[in-house]
Structure 1
Amino acid sequence: MEKVEVKELLEAGVHFGHLTRKWDPNMAPYIYMERNGIHIINLYKTAAKINETAEAMKKIAASGKKILFVATKKQAKDIVADKAGAVNQPYITERWPGGMLTNFVTIRKAVKKMASIDRMKKDGTFNSLSKKERLQVDRQRAKLEKNLGSISDMTRLPGALFVVDIKREHIAIKEAQKLNIPIFAMVDTNSDPRQVDYVIPANDDASKSIDKVLSIVTSAVADGLNERKAEKSDKDAAAAAPAPKAEAKKAAPVAAQEEE
């Protein structure tokens, strides 16, 4: 896993915080200075925190658990959908469905409903409905897809959450805290870092900054998934290995008989 360079973070504008009057005093340890009424984040601390976060996320991915990415703000949505989707992790980029974690059973029912509509379309049941009913089902399917499409493969609660902008996603944060699900997050100078297990002090408003941080952490997730894959194929190979030896022993007496 590559170590993060401060220069890269600087170029992406990760260091720009909020206006000083909007700050949360708990972010003081991560603030380097004030410039033109804006807080500047200490990128050496950011780099260290990104490395720490990436390492932890890599372990979670390697263990086979999913990391749910949450970002509903305009400048983060597409980046999160793209990066999380690329490493096969679930994400929420529309509206956080209340009870997504604390009432996971209900959310699973909605996902199953989506799957049953898909089955209806495949087996032809859908075509036997009236035009009005078909329209209603289609609308329902589109709504479910919009809100839950990216989590349709999530059959159990995630191993962790990765959040962009904890102020905006406060409901998601509260639900994860209730269930003791670890929270990774990009935290800007206007937010309280005490709500998060792994804090990445960073500009959570600029798409370049969001893109940079997400590229690093999702690359760590990919490393974890590859490790898991390699381990699995090693295990499979080990399990299959003894079989040929047994065959060789069986074959030996036959060969001996032939020589006689």
Structure 2
Amino acid sequence: MIVFHTILNNIFLGNIKNKKKKFLKNYISYNYNNFNYFNAKKVIINLFLIKKEIKNILLNKKKILFVSTKNFLREIVYKYARSLEQNYICNKWIGGILTNTKNYKKILNNSITLKKKRDMNFTKKEKNLFLKKEKKIEILYGGLKQMSSIPDLIIITDIKKEKIAINEAKRLKIKILALVDSDDNISGIDYIVPCNNNSINCVKIIFKILFSEVC
């Protein structure tokens, strides 16, 4: 019983009940202590349908972009994006990453130039400056080095936090998969995983289910 309640709270607990926002009313099973709880059966069925879609995407050599700028989720996203050899943004979304790809590619090329300069005849102070700039570029754009074209799917862990990324993906008609809470507006989201996306354990479990057969 204790284990069941732990899983329940990790995955199926939604936000505080909000009568005005009913975007996920079909997934909410009941309300307890003023918190929404998702219908476990519906969530799990949906999760495994999405898992099948992801498997097809990867089997067809299509590309995924992971987006999660929440600090506590960074290592999880790094782990799966790198294991799958996919692209990722885990620090800050810079406007235009999808709609103006020339900009980030130019910046990544600049990083290569800076690296070369560190092996040339510059002062120690100048080399440290080059290194600092190179590290900044790596933090912001390092996960995009292999992204030669726009992705086929973008995976979001929080649609409230990644609004700019979602707007760019919608403009380019890129499929969006999102972990959503009970008060999230899911309009325009192609694949939803209703869950407690503020729980690191929840996201670990969700990702393990989605990618267990392909990592």
TM-score (structure 1 length as normaliser) = 0.76
Contact 1:102-1:179 within 8 A present in 2 as well: yes
Number of aligned positions between the proteins: 212
One-letter code of the match for 2:123? S
Please say which of residues 176-185 and 72-81 is displaced more in the overlay. Answer: 72-81
Question: CA deviation digits over 1:66-88, x for unaligned, max 9?
Answer: 21111111332221112222221
| Rg (Cα) greater in structure | 1
Counterpart CA distance in 2 for 1:8 and 1:111 is 46
Question: CA deviation digits over 1:135-182, x for unaligned, max 9?
Answer: 221111010011111221222211110110111111111010000000
| 1:218 Cα deviation from its structure 2 partner | 2.4
Question: CA deviation digits over 1:27-65, x for unaligned, max 9?
Answer: 111111101010001111111111111111111111212
Distance 1:89-1:40 versus aligned 2 partners, 3 A rule: same
Whose helix proportion is higher, 1 or 2? 1
1:105 counterpart residue number = 102
Structure 2 residue 77 is matched with structure 1 residue 80: yes
| Aligned-pair identity (%) | 28
User: Residue 91 of structure 1: SS of its match in structure 2?
Assistant: strand
1:95 counterpart residue number = 92
Counterpart CA distance in 1 for 2:104 and 2:134 is 14
Give runs of aligned pairs for residues 180-259 of structure 1, distance below 5 A.
Answer: 180-222=173-215
TM-score (structure 2 length as normaliser) = 0.91
Aligned counterpart in structure 1 of residue 63 of structure 2, from 62, 66, 74? 66
Distance 1:175-1:214 versus aligned 2 partners, 3 A rule: same
One-letter code of the match for 2:164? I
Structure 2 residue 131 is matched with structure 1 residue 138: yes
| 1:120 Cα deviation from its structure 2 partner | 4.1
Contact 1:23-1:191 within 8 A present in 2 as well: no
Structure 1 spans left out of the alignment, 5+ residues = 1-6, 223-260
RMSD (Å) for aligned C-alpha atoms:
2.0
Counterpart CA distance in 2 for 1:172 and 1:221 is 25
Contact 2:115-2:130 within 8 A present in 1 as well: no
1:236 counterpart residue number = none
1:115 counterpart residue number = 112
1:250 counterpart residue number = none
Contact 1:75-1:205 within 8 A present in 2 as well: no
Aligned counterpart in structure 2 of residue 178 of structure 1, from 167, 171, 175? 171
Question: CA deviation digits over 1:118-141, x for unaligned, max 9?
Answer: 3444xx32xx11233212211110
Distance 1:22-1:156 versus aligned 2 partners, 3 A rule: farther
1:158 counterpart residue number = 151
